[in-house]
Amino acid sequence: MKEIDSIRLKATLLVEGINYEQEARQGIGSKYKEQNHGLFGWDFENHLGVSLPDDFCLPDGTVVQFRFNSGSPYLVKKINDQICLFKGEEEICEVKWIERPGFYTASTSSGNEMVKIGQIGGADCLFFCYNNYCSYFSHKKECLFCNLVSTSKTYNSVLRKKDFNDIGEVTAAAWAEGTVNHILLTGGCFRGEKEVQIVSHIMASIKEHTGFDRIPGTILPSPAKGDEISRYYETGIQAIGFSMEIWDERLYSAICPGKAETTSHDDFLNSIKTAVKTFGAGNVYGVFVMGLEPRDSFLEGIKVLYGEGANVVPFVWSPNPGSRLEGHRAPSPDWYTDVIREAAEIAFESGVPLGTENHCYRCDGNNLLHDALREKGIV
């Protein structure tokens, strides 16, 4: 077998999707972690009633999100006791499904199934969406890449609103298993004070159930502004993210029409600067959707945000079913590979701490930047 360029392979699998042979699915949803659609659907096709893996590991530990595409030339097969990745007839490498957490079969004291409250992203990130709702859809102003409503209608697999105490119990149960290292919380989209209060109650519950003083992880609320930023810091979460999505201002307005009406490019930038002062360098994330804007504007965004002391999480875009861009095509894997390596060089040179206590390469199967930084020796 040829030597593997894990970043190029991951980019390829995210852009082309993966097909599977039935035997390869054995144990998904019992021994191995299945998709639960806590927020978005990332496959190329919906698969209601069919348990598919959430993500898997390449031989060097790189975590890759499983994006189902029945038309993909990439295929996973079970051979003896191994899961192997093929392109056509050519075997590429063995891959490993990620173990299913024990708490996925447990319930909270209020009787809710824990898996419908929190899910593991990648190998070690406990994810909560505290409110699966976004008001932009009702005005037809949703972000063009987003399939939140369609995913929720298709799978209806998680509780749309979560009880604060349940979130605390799930966190304690997940941590007790010894595999979780970070939390990621987001809340669809709603505004201001109400969201800060909700997050404050959630963090209080997590602290009560875990004994944490400060919580290792990231809050990704509706764009936080002004005083809200310090209020989020006071809740005890260690890092905060800002979903800018697209760096180029005019493309941002076109692709995110609803969000751009309430939060401008400059609003985001000012908030990120304020957040770096409050949370500290490396503990603030600009979140981008990578692949919907040209290389130069994407890299300019990387340069500016790292120059301000923030980190960036750029998710690899592919045309999700139910989004306005369904049926479109993402840039080539080579484009993603080359651009992310350039972005990693900028991030590396900036000296901004990577903030791996809050978010690491094992959290994301759908972001290449951590992998490209790991390639440079930063883990």
Contact set with ligand SF4 (CB under 6 A): 134, 136, 142-143, 146, 148, 188-189, 256, 259
Closest to ligand SF4 by CB, 8 or 324: 324
Least Å distance, CB 56 to ligand SF4, is: 25
User: Do residues 117 and 202 lie in contact, with contact meaning Cβ atoms separated by under 8 Å?
Assistant: no
User: Do residues 123 and 362 lie in contact, with contact meaning Cβ atoms separated by under 8 Å?
Assistant: yes
CB atoms within 10 A of CB 180: 21
Least Å distance, CB 186 to ligand SF4, is: 8
d(CA 343, CA 339): 6
Closest to ligand SF4 by CB, 32 or 136: 136
Structure tokens at 275: 């957040």
Closest to ligand SF4 by CB, 74 or 298: 298
Closest to ligand SF4 by CB, 148 or 202: 148
Closest to ligand SF4 by CB, 131 or 274: 131
Query: Is the backbone of residue 127 left (phi > 0), alpha (psi -120 to 50) or beta?
Result: beta
DSSP state of 2: P
d(CA 369, CA 366): 10
Phi/psi at 322 (5° precision): 90, -10
Least Å distance, CB 215 to ligand SF4, is: 23
Least Å distance, CB 57 to ligand SF4, is: 27
Least Å distance, CB 152 to ligand SF4, is: 10
Least Å distance, CB 80 to ligand SF4, is: 42
- Counting every residue written for the chain, the total comes to 379
Structure tokens at 257: 């029409």
Closest to ligand SF4 by CB, 27 or 319: 319
Longest distance between any two alpha carbons in the chain, whole Å: 58
Least Å distance, CB 191 to ligand SF4, is: 11
Closest to ligand SF4 by CB, 134 or 312: 134
> What H or E segment, with its residue span, contains residue 183?
strand 182-186
d(CA 207, CA 317): 34
Least Å distance, CB 134 to ligand SF4, is: 3
Angle at 300 between CA 226 and CA 237, to 5 degrees: 35
Beta bridge partners of 129: 186
Closest to ligand SF4 by CB, 136 or 298: 136
Beta bridge partners of 316: 290
Closest to ligand SF4 by CB, 74 or 315: 315
The owner of tokens 């998710």 is 315
d(CA 234, CA 214): 9
User: Do residues 165 and 110 lie in contact, with contact meaning Cβ atoms separated by under 8 Å?
Assistant: yes
Closest to ligand SF4 by CB, 142 or 169: 142
Least Å distance, CB 148 to ligand SF4, is: 5
d(CA 354, CA 369): 11
User: Do residues 18 and 318 lie in contact, with contact meaning Cβ atoms separated by under 8 Å?
Assistant: no
Close Cβ partners of 135 (under 8 Å, ≥ 6 residues apart): 189, 190, 258
Least Å distance, CB 136 to ligand SF4, is: 5
